[in-house]
Amino acid sequence: MATEPRELPQRDALFTTVSGQPIKPLYTEEDLPESPADAIGLPGEYPFTRGVYASMYRGRLWTMRQFAGYGTAEESNARFRYLLDHGQTGLSTAFDMPSLMGHDSDHPRSEGEVGREGVAVDTLDDMETLFAGIPLDEVSVSMTINAPAAIMLAFYVVAAERRGIPPERLAGTIQTDILKEYIAQKEWCFPVDPAMRLVGDLIEWCSEHMPRWHPVSISGYHIREAGATAVQELAFTLKDGLTYVEQAVARGLDVDDFAPRLSFFFNAHIDLFEEVAKYRAARRIWARELRERFGARDERSLLMRFHTQTAGVSLTAQQPLNNIIRTTIEALAGVLGGTQSLHTNSYDEALALPTEEAVRVALRTQQIIAHESGVPNTVDPLGGAYFVEALTDEMERAAYEYFAKIDELGGMVEAVKRNFPQREIADAAFRFQQEVDSGQRLVVGVNAYQNPDDEPLEILRIDPALERKQMDRLASVRAARDAAGVEAALAALREQAARPAANLMPALLDCARAHATEGEIVGSHQDAFGTYAEAPVF
């Protein structure tokens, strides 16, 4: 039987906005911006507070892009096909930890992690198997990988090339957001400066060869998952994105040649109105900065298009079916906030990779919102709401306060090196956990309304034999390839990496064609770049 909390907390302590100001019991027109026409505007018009397209979901629903990947390429290919058969409209690829860290599956540090939380991709052969039978020139594909992003894109481009599909026909996104890795997710291969060079190489190459591809998905998601507040997610994500724009412009690229293909990836957390305000403020800030600071003339450069994923960190292992409700609220926040694509988490993901049943429920959640709720029937249905507009303004002001602090430190790269955003996030995470531990903040099923009689949930278990299978597959690729050709390609990559002005994408494509492994390519980079160790943050 569910138990009641011993004593309900004083909820007034949690009635605060992003800057710590009290939330009023009632909002009126006096709380609207001083110039509401300029600040709010219309959907599809500058500053895009209300949405990047005039018709929004009346013209086209968001892309339902469920994150998927586990085990070997064969297993993940089967899950991709399952999702497409059940109505998904885009693919989103989760890689395992060794792949994210630039290790081959037979590396000592990969032991026990191969295929555990995503798909293992070591070689071009794995990439070809992962997308076997999937029309790459018809389906939009997203890949969530950062430090080795250029390597994975090279594998993907060559896999398509071998099927007669040129890069200009490929549509999708690769995350490539390396600053976010140093800030939050901690999956890096190289020191900060050469890692930033690789991001610039990828943006530059894609601007010339992949007009339908988003070379960077600037990610607030993992910043929020690390414990950031909504305003920290907003500020650090936008500052990361503006830093990539600065770098590309410094290379001599015209902002309008690449900015239309930059995209964003935000978290959808449980405070519905705060999240909606976050997305609306993000669009407005991005449009203003691109137009006024960087002189963008193409309206497409001003449009912040973003993917949303519901908050993994909000899911609880206790009473996991409650997570369906949490995910629904968070998905509504993404839709009400004007997202372009959406992933809904599965209810069992606090325990393991999701089962097919849980994945189906997550996808159906989106479909019910799309086809039954009526939410997409009008554009920005919360636009003009006194509370939402006031919160949007406050979110924007708080983000600019963070911008000023980061600029005082010398910009985002220097701030990351000095651990400023890392420390801010750690402090926010600590405060949140204190509130939960003290009972000031209630989490249903965790510190309130517990049910000790819960039956254990059936979870997905990865067969340990898959690790050996992947290692054998990797050994077969190494045995069958031209070893001299591989070494020649890797040597050319090392030579190019030692030349700061060289774009490394052509050399990476040659390594992919030679069937070099991810780990070998990363190692060749490290010969030129060195490695990275983070200074501890306390």
pLDDT tens-digit readout, 168-193: 999 999 999 999 999 999 999 999 99
Q: Is the pTM of this model over 0.75?
A: yes
Looking up tokens 């090392």 gives: 494
Helix (H) or strand (E) holding 144: strand 141-144
Looking up tokens 């390429």 gives: 73
Helix (H) or strand (E) holding 388: helix 386-408
C-alpha dihedral sign at 121, 123, 124, 125: negative
Q: Are 478 and 87 in contact (CB under 8 A)?
A: no
- Domain residue limits, the chain: 11-373+387-438
Matching CATH number, 11-373+387-438, of 3.90.1010.10, 3.20.20.240, 3.40.30.10, 3.40.50.12280: 3.20.20.240
End-to-end CA distance of the chain: 41
How long a stretch of residues is the chain? Answer: 538
| pLDDT (0 to 100) of residue 452 | 80
What angle separates helix 149-161 from helix 192-209, to the nearest 10 degrees?
Answer: 30
Closest CA to 114 of 370, 528, 386, 464: 464
Q: Are 97 and 70 in contact (CB under 8 A)?
A: no
Question: In which band, very low, low, confident or very high, does the pLDDT at 11 lie, cut at 50, 70 and 90?
Answer: low
Each residue of 56-109: pLDDT tens digit?
999 999 988 877 777 789 988 988 888 788 887 778 898 999 999 999 999 999
Pairwise pLDDT comparison (24 vs 505), residue with the higher score: 505
Question: In which band, very low, low, confident or very high, does the pLDDT at 271 lie, cut at 50, 70 and 90?
Answer: very high
